[in-house]
């Protein structure tokens, strides 16, 4: 599984995720900082990435388009620093690896993880 870290998260996530065993890249290394969510989704889909983001718009786009890919991990907390969230994120990645490989929207907060299989149904 390869992770594409969105602009709204720190590039520090690359080393955290790679140290936990996942190939990772921050969007700033491959795309324009002002790229649209659609551009990021298209890139992730065509290059086999799971998107890791703090942006809830990706879930809305997946729902509106009935997309089956790419998988998206969204964090729903105010504190998105690696110090605060790395344990939660690594734990969720391990728990939902199969879902992410097959197409899922994973939501992470400090209290729980939630997985929704793609395409999203009402």
Q: Which pLDDT belongs to residue 122? A: 59
Q: Which pLDDT belongs to residue 110? A: 82
**Which H or E run contains 115?**
strand 113-117
3, 23 Cβ separation under 8 angstroms: yes
* Domain 2-117 listed as CATH 3.10.450: no
Q: Using CA atoms, how far apart are residues 76 and 110, in angstroms rounded to an integer?
A: 8
Q: Which pLDDT belongs to residue 121? A: 74
Q: Using CA atoms, how far apart are residues 90 and 15, in angstroms rounded to an integer?
A: 12
Q: Which pLDDT belongs to residue 8? A: 95
pLDDT digit string (tens) for the chain, length 122 residues: 999 999 999 999 999 999 999 999 999 999 999 999 999 999 999 999 999 999 999 999 999 999 999 999 999 999 999 999 999 999 999 999 999 999 999 999 888 899 999 998 75
Q: Which pLDDT belongs to residue 70? A: 96
Q: Which pLDDT belongs to residue 111? A: 85
Q: Using CA atoms, how far apart are residues 120 and 13, in angstroms rounded to an integer?
A: 27
CA distances from 8 to 35, 80, 105 (A): 12, 9, 18
């Amino acid at each position: 599984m390869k992770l594409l870290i969105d602009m709204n998260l720190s590039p520090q996530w690359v080393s955290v995720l790679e140290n936990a065993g996942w190939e990772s890249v921050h969007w700033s290394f491959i795309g324009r900082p002002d790229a649209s969510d659609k551009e990021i989704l298209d890139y992730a889909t065509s290059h086999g990435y799971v998107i890791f983001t703090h942006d809830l718009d990706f879930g809305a786009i997946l729902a509106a388009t009935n997309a089956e890919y790419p998988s998206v991990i969204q964090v729903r907390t105010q504190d998105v620093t690696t110090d605060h969230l790395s344990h939660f994120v690594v734990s969720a990645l391990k728990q939902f690896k199969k879902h992410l490989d097959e197409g899922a929207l994973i939501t992470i907060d400090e209290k729980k993880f939630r997985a929704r299989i793609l395409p999203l149904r009402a």
